Every structure is written in structure tokens, then in C-alpha cells.
Amino acid sequence: MKRKSGFTIIEVSLVLAIAGMILLMVFIALPALQRSSRDTERREDMMTLISEIKKYQSNNRGSLPTESGSTSWDNFYSKYLNDRFTDPSSGEKYSLTTADCGKSNANEACTTSYASASFPNDYKITVVTGGAVCNGESAIKSNNPRRVAVLYKLELGVYCGNT
């Protein structure tokens, strides 16, 4: 009597179930890896922004961009950052969206924001001047008026960096 060799239906089912579980784990982990990768790129963008603010300060005797004129945030953005900043989600260049530096209170900081048009508005880079420093996920006033805090709401939290 000759025996036929091959796999039983139980063995094939078991292999398919294991392969299915592996694929399921990959598809569950992939979006988290993509978010993490985009957030890493955003942190790098923020470090570039902080570096460029420091460079601007050293080129301008420690001063920061102003509301308007030749030393405005618009000019800072176009001269120092324009071709470097793109949103990792859409690939669009960031643009200056807000420059609200009207100080009704001497303790109030000036806030300038950068964002891409397609990225949700709450995911933007916020530059807080007027002596701001990071305090967790927000900025607070410090004694040094030349300090700047840069906040970036990421997909997985908020990142804050100081000059």
C-alpha cells in the first residue's frame, strides 16, 4: 500500500491563521509608525526654526522679528525658512498664518504661527516671543526678553523648544 504525502487541512488552516495574525499586527502597527515618522520630521522642522531664529538674532544684535517693516516675521520666514519647511502630511510648504503682536499688556507675549493650508489649524508651529520659555506643553514668561519658545502640536502630543 502506497501512502500519499501532503498537508492535512488542519495544518494548512493553522499556517493561514498564523499568517493572517502577522498581517493583522503589521496593519495595526503601520499607522502608528507613520505618525511617529511624521512627528519626528516635525520635531526636526522645529529645531531648524529655533536654529534660524538664533541665527537671525546673532545677525541682528539679539533682536527678534517685529510686527511689520523690513524686520518683520514675513521677511524672516521668506529669507530664513521658505524653501525648507514643508508639512510631512501633505508635502505643502508652510506659510505665515498669524502675526498677533499687538501688546495690550507689557507681560503679554507676541505669538506668530506657521501652518500649511491643508493641515488642521491646531497642528501648527507657534513662536512665542517676549521672553517666553517652555513649561511642559506651554510657554511661560521668563526674565530674559530675548528668549523665544517654539511650540508644535504633533499628532502624538505637543513639543516645546527654547532658543
Percentages (nearest 5) of helix, strand, coil residues in the chain: 35, 25, 40
* pLDDT tens digits, one per residue of 61-92: 888 877 666 667 777 777 777 666 777 777 77
Looking at the domain assignment, is residue 123 inside a domain? Answer: yes
Residue 31 covered by a domain: no
- Predicted confidence at residue 120, as pLDDT, reads 56
Residue 95 reports pLDDT greater than 60:
yes
What value does the mean pLDDT take over residues 90-102? Answer: 60
Q: Establish if 17 belongs to a structural domain.
A: no
- The tens digit of pLDDT for each residue in 9-67 reads 999 999 999 999 999 998 898 888 888 888 888 888 888 888 888 888 888 888 887 76
Say what the pLDDT of residue 110 is.
61
What is the predicted pLDDT for the residue at 15? 95
| Residue 4 within a domain | no
**Assigned domain for 107 exists:** yes
96: containing domain: 39-162
* Domain-embedded: residue 93: yes
* Position 107 confidence tier, pLDDT thresholds 50, 70, 90: very low
Domain count, the chain: 1
Partners of 152 in the β-ladder: 125, 159
pLDDT of residue 162: 84
Q: Does 134 map to a domain?
A: yes
CB 89 within 8 A of CB 38: yes
